Chains A and B, each alone.
Chain A
């Protein structure tokens, strides 16, 4: 079956720098994309989402970019803080069915 995957398993950044986490998806029918943050021992926490009719969406310190031509999704975190250290997952769905397909995740480590 088709799945969503991530390019880098681990990303280390300095506190205050910007972070970019990338994700490739393969399902051309996907019309909804979402980023989750998961801290150790906790459930995934919603960060930001985007629909396929948009290319960019901004939240507080976070921006999601969607490139449908190359089936690529990225999460940008501005001024990364120690509290941003976690595993980040991208996921997709299609047809409004709520079934999310997750990638394996990227571990973000923020160095002081």
Chain B
């Protein structure tokens, strides 16, 4: 039973560039949430996707956008990168009818120079 997978593992970008991160949920899960974790901090909720639509959104600017595909996998896009976007980006999957438990992937470490 595959867990949550994310790609790439690490990524280095420069200010102003755009980035796309990818996530495959745990087998059987239909909901994907994205979190940003700055160094030494707890994860911060970005948004959540279910049925290919954004279901909830945290306090993040429109530069952060996402997408969910029919196979439940998801992408996180960040435009016009800022130095402050450097963080570990975590994907978590869950089952909308299965309660609140979320399973996290290993994350993508994004460094913006």
Contacts and interface: CB of A to CB of B under 8 A. Distances in A.
A104 B48 contact: no
B79 to A, nearest CB: 23
A36 to B, nearest CB: 7
Contacts of A105: 40-42
A43 interface: yes
A43 B33 contact: no
Contacts of B41: 104-105
The binding surface of chain A is classed by DSSP as loop
Contacts of A103: 42
18 contacts: A34-B101, A36-B104, A41-B106, A44-B43, A44-B90, A46-B102, A46-B104, A89-B43, A93-B100, A96-B100, A97-B48, A98-B48, A99-B33, A99-B45, A100-B35, A101-B45, A102-B44, A105-B42
Interface of B: 4, 31, 33, 35, 40-45, 48, 55-56, 58-59, 90, 92, 94, 96, 99-107
